[in-house]
């Protein structure tokens, strides 16, 4: 990344002088961008990776971004994709013209750095890539980090039959992510990254996206490793059900006529498309995110893992120790009763016909009489921990290099609304993110937590660089004991009790 210049010398000859290129400028295949430069990192924000999906491009695969002349400002992130902002404290704008990404790099070097592409969570209905400040991963970890936006909610995953032929509908948000991965392949070298050493990573809906890419045909070859954090990857939606929900959604939006539905939907103002595709009576979303049984996602990823259909790449997969405590706390602070009178109802909504067996196994008496903690433990184990454990085992059975972890800081800093709950949130869903990114919104880390943060950054960046988090971390399947790494401020340790603590043999009987 140097500019070679010829200059006149005092003796009348010429000499070749290497003048370093402007580290704040990078060239993409659509044009040049100018970002910001600091002592320990560079940041390029709001770079478009696809054309604005508006007008006739709404609910169509992402198209190439138009080129531009001169230097495009890349010092500020682009708008968030359209999402419900009725309860939003963010305040930043949203727009359909939102298919942008952000690049964090270490200082320039002659050697290309490994790349991590981060896919944000938010239930496929909210969030954005720019809230994940990756300065520490780029600086301490010496890797390039790309964060991205993708279409959300109805705009990202509506599966109305009028929008495509047969199975080729929905999953527009997943196609956006694939377009961003192709952008990385074609452009990241200009930012100091190695296009042949790309790890896809994400948490919650972002982790579910990673699961999808592991089995999606159009994602093949776009990455060389994967990180799945706190992702209930079994929560996918099959095409027939998704189409029925989408038909009902269109009808409620005033587009019930099957012949005119596509034109009608594309003519709607975007602010009429911010509501979720469908909620049941308690506010649980019934359809959001990728749809299986389609050309772009033929198989449910968990089934695909079990059948040996996943991309054969190294995988790091894990959960937090108290995943569902966060969701229980959110329900509580929003006024939903989480008490003995409603316990069976809560379990029925989560586990259907298995609710009675779960109630017996997770009696509040075993949790010091606390219904919130019993409910949280059941949903943590049944929907997160044992699903991740099953995925790790299935991938390892296919002779892949698989590493598993549990984040277990019982005092992880939580946002203010969650601290109002009358039970500890503990190592709740998403609370490990501030140990990797500067996401703000909570009390600062203690010295011990900061040490854990540095250790986690080292593990993650080493995995991105080598496909392994380090020699002290055993691979899944190396022995019969089910070894998993526990991440804790008092010291990280390999444990063999994960399946027992989360009652995974019991959950296996309910599948």
Percent of all residues in the chain with a pLDDT value above 90, rounded to a whole number: 82
Instruction: Return the pLDDT at 495.
Output: 95
Residues 289 and 372 in one domain: no
Residues 286 and 364 in one domain: no
Question: Given 282, 309, 336, which residue is the final one in a domain?
Answer: 309
Mean model confidence pLDDT for the chain: 92
Q: What does the block give as tokens for 349?
A: 């909504």
| 457 Cβ contact list (under 8 Å, min separation 6) | 136, 137, 140, 141, 435, 436
Query: What tens digit of pLDDT does each residue of 448-490 get?
Result: 999 999 999 999 999 999 999 999 999 998 776 789 999 999 9
In angstroms, the CA 48 to CA 73 distance is 11
Residues marked active site are found at: 204, 323, 429
Mean pLDDT along residues 109-130: 96
Query: What tens digit of pLDDT does each residue of 219-273 get?
Result: 999 999 999 999 999 877 899 989 999 999 999 999 999 889 999 999 999 989 9
Helix (H) or strand (E) holding 357: helix 355-361
In angstroms, the CA 250 to CA 244 distance is 10
Residues 88 and 114 in one domain: yes
Residues 34 and 179 in one domain: yes
What is the residue range of 355's domain? 314-511
Residues 441 and 483 in one domain: yes
Mean pLDDT along residues 486-506: 97
- Distance, first Cα to last Cα, the chain: 55
Mean pLDDT along residues 117-134: 96
Residues 481 and 381 in one domain: yes
CB 107 within 8 A of CB 41: yes
Q: What does the block give as tokens for 21?
A: 């290129």
In angstroms, the CA 357 to CA 345 distance is 13
Domain count, the chain: 2
Instruction: Return the pLDDT at 400.
Output: 87
Query: What tens digit of pLDDT does each residue of 434-449 get?
Result: 999 999 889 999 999 9
Instruction: Return the pLDDT at 486.
Output: 98
Task: Check the CA dihedral 17-23-28-32 and report its sign.
Answer: negative
In angstroms, the CA 4 to CA 19 distance is 6
Query: What tens digit of pLDDT does each residue of 413-423 get?
Result: 999 888 889 99
Tokens 């910001």 sit on residue: 36
Instruction: Return the pLDDT at 417.
Output: 84
CB 482 within 8 A of CB 489: no
Percent of all residues in the chain with a pLDDT value above 70, rounded to a whole number: 93
In angstroms, the CA 20 to CA 313 distance is 36
Residues 324 and 350 in one domain: yes
267 found inside a domain: yes
Residues 392 and 481 in one domain: yes
Q: What does the block give as tokens for 415?
A: 């946002």
Question: Given 250, 284, 309, which residue is the final one in a domain?
Answer: 309
9 found inside a domain: no
For residue 286, name the pLDDT band (cuts at 50, 70, 90): low
- The CATH number that applies at residue 52 is 3.40.50.1820
Residue 326 above 90 pLDDT? yes
Question: Given 249, 278, 309, which residue is the final one in a domain?
Answer: 309
Residue 213 backbone dihedrals phi, psi, to 5 degrees: -65, -30
Instruction: Return the pLDDT at 166.
Output: 64
470 found inside a domain: yes
Mean pLDDT along residues 118-131: 96
Show the DSSP H helices in 26-117 as ranges.
none
Tokens 């279409």 sit on residue: 151
CB 322 within 8 A of CB 312: no
370 found inside a domain: yes
365 found inside a domain: yes
Residues 388 and 261 in one domain: no
Residues 94 and 192 in one domain: yes
Residues 344 and 248 in one domain: no
Instruction: Return the pLDDT at 420.
Output: 85
Instruction: Return the pLDDT at 480.
Output: 61
Instruction: Return the pLDDT at 88.
Output: 74
Instruction: Return the pLDDT at 209.
Output: 98
Mean pLDDT along residues 315-323: 98
For residue 278, name the pLDDT band (cuts at 50, 70, 90): low
Instruction: Return the pLDDT at 165.
Output: 74
8 found inside a domain: no
Residue 197 above 90 pLDDT? yes
Residues 339 and 477 in one domain: yes
| 112 Cβ contact list (under 8 Å, min separation 6) | 189, 192, 193, 194, 197
In angstroms, the CA 440 to CA 328 distance is 22
Instruction: Return the pLDDT at 4.
Output: 34
In angstroms, the CA 208 to CA 234 distance is 9
Residue 5 above 50 pLDDT? no
Residue 15 above 70 pLDDT? no
10 found inside a domain: no
67 found inside a domain: yes
Query: What tens digit of pLDDT does each residue of 357-391 get?
Result: 999 999 999 999 999 999 999 999 999 999 999 99
């Amino acid at each position: 990344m140097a500019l070679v210049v010829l200059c006149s010398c005092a003796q009348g000859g010429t000499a070749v002088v290497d003048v370093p290129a402007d580290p704040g400028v990078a060239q993409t295949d659509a044009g040049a961008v100018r970002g910001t430069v600091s002592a320990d990192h560079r940041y390029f924000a709001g770079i478009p990776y696809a054309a604005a999906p508006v007008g006739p491009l709404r609910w169509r695969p992402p198209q190439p971004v138009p080129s531009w002349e001169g230097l495009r400002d890349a010092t500020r992130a682009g708008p968030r994709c359209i999402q419900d902002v009725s309860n939003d404290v963010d305040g930043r704008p949203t727009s359909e013209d939102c298919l942008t990404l952000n690049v964090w790099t270490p200082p320039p070097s002659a050697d290309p750095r490994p790349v991590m592409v981060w896919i944000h969570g938010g239930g496929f209905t909210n969030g954005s890539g720019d809230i994940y400040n990756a300065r520490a991963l780029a600086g301490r970890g010496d890797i390039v980090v790309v964060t991205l936006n993708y279409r959300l909610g109805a705009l990202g995953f509506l599966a109305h039959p009028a929008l495509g032929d047969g199975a080729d509908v929905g999953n527009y948000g997943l196609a956006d992510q694939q377009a961003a991965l192709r952008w990385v392949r074609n452009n990241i070298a200009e930012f100091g990254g190695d296009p042949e050493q790309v790890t896809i990573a994400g948490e919650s809906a972002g982790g579910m996206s990673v699961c999808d890419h592991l089995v999606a045909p159009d994602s093949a070859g776009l990455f060389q490793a994967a990180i799945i954090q706190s992702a209930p990857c079994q929560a996918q939606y099959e095409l027939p059900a998704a189409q029925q929900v989408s038909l009902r959604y269109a009808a409620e939006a005033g587009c019930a006529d099957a012949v005119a539905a596509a034109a009608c939907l594309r003519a709607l103002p975007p602010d009429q498309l911010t509501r979720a595709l469908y909620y049941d009576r308690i506010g649980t979303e019934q359809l959001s995110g990728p749809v299986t049984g389609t050309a772009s996602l033929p198989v449910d990823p968990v089934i695909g893992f079990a059948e040996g259909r996943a991309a054969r790449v190294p995988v790091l997969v894990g959960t937090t120790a108290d995943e569902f405590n966060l969701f229980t706390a959110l329900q509580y602070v929003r006024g939903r009763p989480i008490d003995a009178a409603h316990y069976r109802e809560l379990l029925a909504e989560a586990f259907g016909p298995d609710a009675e067996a779960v109630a017996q196994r997770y009696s509040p008496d075993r949790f010091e009489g606390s219904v919130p903690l019993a409910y949280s433990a059941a949903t943590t184990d049944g929907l997160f921990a044992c699903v991740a454990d099953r995925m790790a085992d299935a991938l390892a059975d296919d002779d892949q290099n698989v590493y598993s972890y549990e984040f277990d800081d019982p005092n992880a800093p939580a946002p203010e609304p969650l601290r109002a709950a009358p039970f500890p949130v503990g190592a709740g869903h998403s609370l490990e993110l501030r140990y990797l990114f500067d996401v703000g919104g909570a009390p600062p880390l203690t010295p011990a937590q900061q040490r854990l943060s540095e250790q986690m950054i080292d593990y993650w960046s080493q995995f991105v660089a080598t496909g392994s988090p380090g020699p002290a971390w055993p691979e899944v399947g190396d022995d019969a004991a089910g070894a998993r790494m526990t991440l804790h401020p008092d010291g990280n340790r390999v444990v063999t009790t994960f399946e027992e603590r989360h009652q995974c043999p019991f959950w296996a009987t309910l599948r």
